[in-house]
Copies of this chain bind each other. A is one copy, B any other.
Amino acid sequence: MSTSLEELRKRLDTIDESVLRLLAERQDIIRQVAETKRKTGVPVYVAGREQEKTDRFREQAAQLGISPDWAEDFLRMMMSASRANQSEATFPSATPEPKTWLIVGGEGGMGRLYAELIRKSGHQVRTLDRNDWLKARALTEGADVVLVTVPINLTGDVITRIARFMSPEQLLCDFTSIKAEYVNLMLQAHDGPVVGLHPMHGPDVRQVSRQLMVVCEGRQPEAAEWLIRQFELWGMRIKRADADMHDRAMHLVQGLRHFVALLHASFMNRLDLRPEDMLDYSSPIYRAELMMTGRIFAQDARLYADIVFSDAERIRMLTDFLGHHTALAEMVRTGDKERFIREFETATDFFGAFGAQALKESGYLINRLADRFG
């Protein structure tokens, strides 16, 4: 009996090796696709093409007796690796002639990531970092676009300083996570075209393809169209947004999230419940939450402090949040379970159909986490 198990395992190993060979072959073809796309100026990521391919793959899977959902997971992994491989190569340029970019904050994580993308698209990149201010005037001269990507607490100063060296035909833009205030500041400091940008990802992504770039209009939007086209050629999704709406959302995404992570971690410390021990008592979903809290504390304290304390509006929102907590905690203190149920049902109505999507997406995450680390 156990010999037969050994035989079956050998057959599995042979199959897995064949899969690996096909994946290597796939990678090779993807490199050729990337080269062809670069020559013809086709973006890395085209939504319609992937959907069409996915639908066909699901059908084929069903015919072979494989779960279509599961097959789609595989295909998405293969396609994602394919985009990553394409991103290792070069990109098409959005302009017939190369543009000159000055990246202020060029030695930071985001500055380095984008400098590489820009170079791979055939443009010229100059970088200016904290020790280069003596060269600022020379570096600014002749640049087509000046991109400010520095820590948020320096952004205001840096915009004011660099704009002094700019002339009205040059495009000024920034990557800061607060937009209304800094788009206004750029408009005051610079007389030429202005656009506010916020890439919705960190510097450690494997690829910017399919990542979101928020674009807030400043002045002379037509002067920034080539820039946005370049983001699209890298495969990014573009969200044109109102700066105020963006900022309100960011108070929640950045301010509240990071503050709550600190609350969570410091409360664990107070209860003397160590994260390693918690893993022994974690459902997959709590494990995911613990990892998302923990990741913050593997990073720089000052960076997060600057994000949480970025502006008065955000601090006001966090103060409101304490008021909200105090009101809801009253029902816990008094054991008012019926009120909890009413509040819960109001939240259910507010989330509406999103709840079903959330159940599906988080279910997928839980399964992947269980596959990988369970």
Contact = CB atoms under 8 A, between A and B. Distances in A.
A75 interface: yes
A89 interface: no
Interface of chain A, helix or strand or loop or mixed?
helix
Interface stretch (A102-110, A120-128, A329-337): A329-337
A239 to B, nearest CB: 5
| Chain A interface category by residue count | 35 or more
A344 B297 contact: yes
Nearest to A304: B344
A250 to B, nearest CB: 7
A27 to B, nearest CB: 6
A312 to B, nearest CB: 9
A187 interface: no
A248 B262 contact: no
Interface in A12-37: 12-13, 15-27, 29-30, 32-33, 36-37
Given A315-B333, A332-B315, A368-B368, A363 B204 contact: yes
* Oligomeric state, in copies: 2
The 5 closest A-B pairs by CB, nearest first: A294-B358, A298-B355, A249-B281, A80-B371, A265-B347
Contacts of A295: 285, 355, 358-359, 362-363
A281 B253 contact: yes
Given A70-B81, A201-B283, A265-B351, A33 B8 contact: yes
B20 A26 contact: no
A113 interface: no
A45 to B, nearest CB: 10
A142 interface: no
